[in-house]
Amino acid sequence: MTPLTPVLAHLAPVGRPTLPRDLPRAVRGALGAAFMHAVCERDRPPSCVGCDLVDRCRISTWYDPGRAGLQRIRPFALREVRAVPGPRGAPPVVTIDSTWLGPVPGLLVVDALREVARRLGPGDQDTWTLATVLVRGGAGVEAVVDAGRVRADWPPPTALDALSAAPAQVQGATIHLDRRVQLDKEHSRPTLSGVLRACLLRLRSVQRALDLPPEPRWPDIPELPHTAELSYQRAARDSRHPGQHVDLSGWTGTIQAGPALAPWADLLALGEQLQVGRHTSEGLGVLRIDWT
């Protein structure tokens, strides 16, 4: 079982805050800063290498293993961060749609989301506050935070298979690349087979990060027939290293698949839940599947 927890958070405005120019980047940065502030006992150094707490700290073993020189993946993916306009010109509500992998320290995530809300605003009088946190699982949607107050225990994670399913009889699918998709460092143009391999790589990476056995297994993925309408969008953000930037360019559009997709349809459904490719914690790699 590959466990994960879909989390939808709503941040309500206090006063008249202005939105950051790059909202997804601001949320991701604030989330990292919030976890460092909540967890780090060594005053948030630029690297965790050499720290005497590196083997048991939540940052180096869970949230950002890369800080300790490890290659395990981030425990979350941002599916969508957007601002919903308020009525009659009122400030917007910010929604953060995310997926968390494995066992999730729920109260730590709630505290981090509160800090994200505070950090997004320019000051104490004009900011956001954490209004609701909804967790989706096999039993439906549970409100962990409602009207700003914690009202329920954090539910256990749900098996990935319970949250994703392809139709029993698959005749084809339209794969929407709704967020920029970057399958590899070369930014290769996505193909149907390339997307399926990216789904498998993402699933295996998650299972390896969670110390789970690799399952299930699929036939080798050959080059499959498809048609595609894709465009390349350039984007970047500054790196925390001076003079460097992070390339967030990628492909958007649609890929049309026919009946040849059928043996790997459930793999594609898993990839829709996990997101694929690079920079999933930045909101990239979102797939949306219309089955036929």
- 236-238 and 158-159 strand pairing: unpaired
Answer for the pair 189, 255: CB distance below 8 angstroms, yes or no: no
More confident residue, 72 or 252: 252
CA pair distance 231, 278, nearest whole angstrom = 17
Tokens found for residue 72: 């395990």
Which class for 112: exposed (0-12), middle (13-18), buried (19 or more C-beta within 10 A)? buried
Residue 244 has φ and ψ, to the nearest 5°, of: -115, 160
DSSP character string of 23-72: HHHHHHHHHHHHHHHHH-SSS--S--TT-TTTTT-HIIIII-GGGGT--P
Asked if residue 146 and residue 8 are part of one domain, the reply reads yes
Asked if residue 252 and residue 147 are part of one domain, the reply reads no
In 3D space, the residue among 80, 82, 86 whose CA is nearest the CA of residue 15 turns out to be 86
Asked if residue 172 and residue 40 are part of one domain, the reply reads no
Which of 127, 158, 189 corresponds to the end of one domain?
158
Answer for the pair 170, 262: CB distance below 8 angstroms, yes or no: yes
Residue 48 has φ and ψ, to the nearest 5°, of: -95, -5
Range of the domain at 68: 3-158
Tokens found for residue 111: 């505290």
CA pair distance 116, 95, nearest whole angstrom = 12
CA pair distance 56, 63, nearest whole angstrom = 12
Asked if residue 260 and residue 150 are part of one domain, the reply reads no
pLDDT digits (tens, 9 = 90+) for 79-117: 999 999 888 888 899 999 999 998 888 889 999 999 999
Asked if residue 117 and residue 14 are part of one domain, the reply reads yes
Asked if residue 151 and residue 21 are part of one domain, the reply reads yes
Asked if residue 12 and residue 151 are part of one domain, the reply reads yes
Which class for 157: exposed (0-12), middle (13-18), buried (19 or more C-beta within 10 A)? buried
Asked if residue 186 and residue 126 are part of one domain, the reply reads no
Band (66; pLDDT cuts 50, 70, 90)? confident
pLDDT digits (tens, 9 = 90+) for 117-144: 988 876 667 889 999 999 987 778 899 9
What was the pLDDT predicted at 266? 94
Instruction: State how many domains the chain has.
Output: 2
Answer for the pair 11, 85: CB distance below 8 angstroms, yes or no: no
Which of 117, 143, 158 corresponds to the end of one domain?
158
Answer for the pair 144, 106: CB distance below 8 angstroms, yes or no: yes
Tokens found for residue 138: 């096999």
Neighbours of 13 (CB within 10 A): 22
pLDDT digits (tens, 9 = 90+) for 164-204: 888 989 999 999 999 899 998 889 999 999 999 999 999 99
Asked if residue 40 and residue 151 are part of one domain, the reply reads yes
What was the pLDDT predicted at 240? 67
Q: What percent of the chain clears pLDDT 70, i.e. is strictly above it?
A: 98
pLDDT digits (tens, 9 = 90+) for 207-245: 998 889 988 889 999 999 999 999 999 988 877 667 778
CA pair distance 166, 264, nearest whole angstrom = 10
Asked if residue 97 and residue 171 are part of one domain, the reply reads no
Q: Give me the long-range contacts of 133-136 (CB less than 8 A, separation at least 24).
A: 133/7, 133/8, 133/9, 133/10, 134/7, 134/8, 134/9, 135/5, 135/6, 135/7, 135/8, 136/5, 136/6, 136/7, 136/8, 136/163
CATH number at residue 208: 3.30.70.1900
CA pair distance 184, 127, nearest whole angstrom = 37
Which of 158, 187, 206 corresponds to the end of one domain?
158
Asked if residue 107 and residue 209 are part of one domain, the reply reads no
